Amino acid sequence: MKKFLEPESVALIGVPRQSGPGSYNNAETMLRYGFQGRIYPINPNAAEICGLKAYPAVGDVPDTVDLAVISVGRDRVIPMVEKCIQAGIRRIVIITQGFADADAAGRDMQARILTMARESGVRILGPNTMGVVNNFKRFTTAFIDLEPPRDFPPVSLIAQTGVIQVAAQNMAYRNWGKAIDIGNGADLDVVDALEYLAADPETKVIAVYLEGVSRGRAFLEAASRAALSKPVLVFKSGRSRAGARAALSHTGSLVGEDHVFDAAFQRAGVLRVKSGMELKDAIRALLLMGEMKGPRLGVLTITGAGGIMVADACEDFGLTLARLPEGLAETLQKGIPDWIHIGNPIDIWPVGMIGGNYPGVFGLSLEALLRSPEVDGVVVILPVTNSPLHANLNMENVVARVRQQVGNSKPVALWPYIDTDAFIDRYEAIPGVACFDTIEQAVQGLSFCHHYHLAKTRSIPVQKQFPYDHEALKPILRKGRQDRILLGEDAMSLLRIFGIPTAGGAMAASGQDLPAAAASLRYPLVLKLSGRAFLHKSEWGGVVTGIRNGEELRSAYEAMIRKVRERDPGVAVGAVQVQEQIQGRELLMGLKRDPQFGPVIACGMGGIHAEILKDVHQSIIPIDQAEALHMLTSLKMFPLLKGVRGEASVDLTSLADCLERLSFLALEIPDITELDLNPVMAMLKGCAVVDARILWE
């Protein structure tokens, strides 16, 4: 990948003869950008382009070509790739669009190009890409003329689009250091780019724009490794259904279910942003401030209203207000009237004005906040003004001095107002200090720093192994794979093999078998229809609860048969399931095979509210006990599990164990495509699956 960003010689295939306005001549843009390497325009109809000698074909270039950039019409791309391969060129950027992003013919051509690349060992970036920008080398492959930045941070971008590299002033913090547009990602993709940037010493923060991924597990691993050494931000669009549809038509990549991406990003330790604004702010926060080790904010404000806005934003972004450092209130209270209330947020205006020593109390307070073991980061709200009348309000030297005295272990986010633009650079030159456009963005910036800390220090789950009876599994697995589905007692017995607790139950092939089926079970019982015809049992009147004895069981069975016949005389009832009735809080658990990320485990609220309230947490497999408990505590319904109004908690350990076993099961039987346990009853002691369905594709 490296030579894509810093080639010494480049061949431009498809560069137009014209240059100047409206020509999109990438020899011209490359020259204007200040690239110092050798440029070879390839054009059979020109001897010279932009003052550079042109060659009829790549094979004619009398030099080693590190990189070829192809921008001919889509039908001429394959022959050009062929010529590059023949000429011994090892790296190709294909700018041209109209491949997997367009139609079936385009997809076929893209597949052909990929085969050519694989067979020859040549690496391809694109098609449908702007290529790369590397400001360290003043190199760009784009055909859009951009001003090379005087100043750019060590922040690099990987995107499935060119717009974010072109709009560097709009979506980056100042600019990008390097940018890679993977386009359709036919060969080189986000995984390759991540691996390169993770190891790149010129990159301190990685920003990724994704619409989908095609190698989900590899992405997870590459992102996870990258996140250990530097912050990785992901702006994943196509969150909404309409957005996903638009994404499909855009780059032709796989767009998965959005909350599976959330689970994957969480597992990989990368931070998700949801807008261009968040992208910019998160980069600024992480680049300038780094980690914040806890959620507790100290607030130093020259306006009471600002303190309230910080408090609101804390709640929005998951941070808290710290306790005031011990002794600080007493110190500040000296020499000022009693009626001035001192708390956190510290409203420095009355203290500083009435005491007549604003810089003194400002410095004292900032230092106390930064030294306090109760404070993890600080928000400062202060006026910055060019007015000669207010030079005394300028706290730049105070902030710098305190920073030097206390060291750089805690971030400081500023909202500097009035003549903001004149002061940002000066405040941001102080280590660990970043300035934001609004108070809310300052707090959100710190929350990114905190989430980065959580991501960096997260533990990576290791799957616990559970012994099970491999022999007992064989026949039931055979049946499942043959029928592509397991229901009722069949599904239950598979679960029992893996030690997942289930409601006691048995099948009765007919009415006569009911007493035998019920013999080993405790009343009250539930009678259920079973079999593929009755996937939605309740629609058939196929669940009868509260059966208190053998007589009621028989009459429930007869009534059930009658109902089915009434609804559809052609359907046979077959075997029915008799099950012990269990009381508890209803949850659902499940497994799903995601096309990108593989097995995903879910846990959420069960019962009638499940589908409406969508209170479900998903995790990528494997999970461990800590992650299983995290899944449970993340639910909105968690207080119900924990017990409201003095009720006892349900058995959370047993629910977590159940989830861990489910994760193990998913790894042991990797061909299951879907598994639903709904409901799982959580009890004061233990839990039990009441209904289950297991599917093979």
Give the chain's end-to-end CA distance (angstroms, integer).
38
- Cα 166 from chain centroid? 24
Per-residue exposure over 258-294, b if at least 16 CB sit within 10 Å of its own CB, e if not: eebbbbbbbbbbbbbbeeeebbbbbbbbbbbbbbbbb
- Cα 589 from chain centroid? 22
DSSP states of 366-400: HHHHHH-TT-SEEEEEEEE---GGGGGG--HHHHH
> Could you say which residues in the range 270-299 bind its own copies, by CB under 8 A?
274-277
Residues 251 and 161: beta-carbon distance below 8 Å: yes
Encoded one letter per residue, x for contact with its own copies by CB under 8 A and - for no contact, window 489-528 reads ----------------------------------------
Q: What six digits make up the tokens of 511? A: 């009415």
Binding status of residue 385 toward its own copies by CB under 8 A: yes
Binding status of residue 388 toward its own copies by CB under 8 A: yes
> Could you say which residues in the range 54-93 bind its own copies, by CB under 8 A?
none
- The angle at the Cα of 280, spanning 277 to 285, to the nearest 5 degrees, equals 120
Task: Pick the closer one to its own copies by CB: 304 or 327.
Answer: 304
Least separation in angstroms between CB 159 and its own copies = 8
Among 1, 28, 423, 452, binds its own copies (CB under 8 A): 28
Stretch touching its own copies by CB under 8 A, among 119-127, 138-146, 264-272, 451-459: 138-146
Among 48, 63, 82, 147, binds its own copies (CB under 8 A): 147
Among 269, 295, 298, 307, binds its own copies (CB under 8 A): 307
Binding status of residue 164 toward its own copies by CB under 8 A: yes
Task: Pick the closer one to its own copies by CB: 63 or 147.
Answer: 147
Binding status of residue 559 toward its own copies by CB under 8 A: no
Binding status of residue 645 toward its own copies by CB under 8 A: yes
For 451, the enclosing helix (H) or strand (E) is helix 439-456
Binding status of residue 604 toward its own copies by CB under 8 A: no
Binding status of residue 484 toward its own copies by CB under 8 A: no
Between CA 266 and CA 674 the distance in angstroms is 22
Least separation in angstroms between CB 276 and its own copies = 4
Task: Please report, to the nearest 10 degrees, the dihedral formed by the alpha carbons of residues 40, 42, 46, 49 taken in order.
Answer: -40
Binding status of residue 150 toward its own copies by CB under 8 A: no
Binding status of residue 238 toward its own copies by CB under 8 A: yes
Task: Pick the closer one to its own copies by CB: 55 or 423.
Answer: 423
Least separation in angstroms between CB 314 and its own copies = 6
Binding status of residue 530 toward its own copies by CB under 8 A: no
Residues 528 and 579: beta-carbon distance below 8 Å: yes
Binding status of residue 29 toward its own copies by CB under 8 A: yes
Task: Please report, to the nearest 10 degrees, the dihedral formed by the alpha carbons of residues 586, 587, 590, 595 taken in order.
Answer: 130
Least separation in angstroms between CB 28 and its own copies = 7
Between CA 528 and CA 515 the distance in angstroms is 15
Stretch touching its own copies by CB under 8 A, among 62-70, 398-406, 436-444, 688-696: 436-444
| Binding residue count for its own copies, defined by CB under 8 A | 108
Binding status of residue 608 toward its own copies by CB under 8 A: yes
DSSP 499: T
Residue type for position 673: T
Stretch touching its own copies by CB under 8 A, among 82-90, 215-223, 287-295, 635-643: 635-643
Residues 599 and 667: beta-carbon distance below 8 Å: yes
Among 52, 93, 102, 687, binds its own copies (CB under 8 A): 102
Binding status of residue 360 toward its own copies by CB under 8 A: no
Between CA 506 and CA 502 the distance in angstroms is 11
